[in-house]
Amino acid sequence: MSSKEKGKLAMQVGRLYGSNRWADKPAHIYLTGLKKGRQLYQEMVNKNSGFENYLIDVAEKTHVELFPLDRIVYLSPDSCTPPPS
């Protein structure tokens, strides 16, 4: 991922967090594969004031290490299949 893409992702996480805070039914947010000291983590801190105090779960492990595979749903705007109910 380029530096520009990391910056854009950090901004998207900030918007996600802001929207989720005001949602009637907020989602439980996990950021996985995010390691302190790495450039992406630093982008999150730089672009999002108070990032380290956000009410989200940040894990160094990947999503496939943290969750059962049969419980993971991948969402894509290009999919022809609707998400499971």
What pLDDT, in 10s, does the model give residues 2-52? 999 999 999 999 999 999 999 999 999 999 999 999 999 999 999 999 999
Count the domains in the chain: 1
Residue with tokens 């419980």: 71
Q: What was the pLDDT predicted at 84? A: 72
List the domain range (segments joined by +) for residue 7. Answer: 3-71
Residue 78: pLDDT band (50, 70, 90) is confident
In angstroms, the Cα distances linking 24 to 14, 19, 27, 28 are 18, 10, 10, 13
Say if strands 57-59 and 30-32 run parallel, antiparallel, or are unpaired: parallel
Nearest to 39 by CA among 75, 69, 78, 1: 1
Q: Which carries the bigger pLDDT value, residue 43 or residue 81?
A: 43
What pLDDT does residue 4 have?
94
pTM: 0.82
Residue 76 lies in a domain: no
Measure the CA–CA gap between 1 and 27, rounded to whole angstroms. Answer: 26
Residue 18 lies in a domain: yes
Q: Provide the pLDDT for residue 13.
A: 97
